[in-house]
């Protein structure tokens, strides 16, 4: 049986299966890198970059805190992303994973405004 182990030195070949699985589940672009080695950028079920690092991945690994933001540079410049650190058993940050943040791309007031009207309409028909 093969083992899948992630460490601060994991490279693209180690990280790709996890990023591909997350991409398939979410249907969103996924990035993943370890602390010491650039990782992968996955979109549409394919590894598009196997030497990937982005400014938000690096910021999250340095701070140890999850972050939702819009990058000012890099491949996803201007696109909302959500990135979280991955920690080892001792709590040390060893990697970071990011996804395009679809919630950040939705105009929440207009969506919920329409939702309220739909609920009123459906309730009135009962």
**pLDDT 10s digits, 33-87:** 999 999 999 999 999 999 999 999 999 999 999 999 999 999 999 999 999 999 9
CATH number at residue 115: 3.30.450
- Weakest-pLDDT range from 1-10, 14-23, 111-120: 111-120
pLDDT at residue 94, rounded to an integer: 98
Mean pLDDT over each residue of the chain, to the nearest integer: 90
pLDDT at 26 over 80: yes
Total structural domains in the chain?
1
Any alpha helices (H) in 1-126, and if so which ranges? 12-26, 55-63, 102-105, 108-124
Give SS3 for 68. strand
d(CA 119, CA 116) in angstroms, rounded, equals 5
pLDDT at residue 4, rounded to an integer: 85
The torsion angles phi and psi of 116, rounded to 5 degrees, stand at -60, -40
Higher pLDDT, 7 or 2: 7
pLDDT at residue 119, rounded to an integer: 64
Question: Which structural domain, as residue segments, surrounds residue 99?
Answer: 12-124
Q: Is residue 43 part of a domain?
A: yes
Q: Look at the block and give the residue holding tokens 């972050």.
A: 67
Write the DSSP string, 44-66: TTEEEEEEE--HHHHHHHHH-S-
């Amino acid at each position: 049986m093969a083992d899948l182990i992630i460490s601060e030195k994991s490279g693209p070949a180690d990280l790709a299966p996890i990023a591909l699985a997350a991409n398939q589940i979410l249907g969103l672009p996924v990035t993943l890198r370890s602390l010491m080695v650039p990782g992968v950028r996955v979109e549409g079920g394919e590894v598009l970059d196997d030497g990937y690092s982005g400014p938000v991945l690096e910021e999250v690994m340095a701070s140890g805190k999850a972050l939702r933001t819009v990058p000012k540079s890099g491949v996803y410049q201007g696109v909302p992303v959500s990135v979280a650190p991955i920690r080892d058993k001792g709590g040390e940050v060893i990697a970071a994973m990011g996804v395009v943040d679809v919630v950040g791309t939705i105009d929440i007031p207009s969506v919920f405004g329409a939702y309220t009207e739909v609920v009123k309409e459906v309730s009135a028909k009962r």
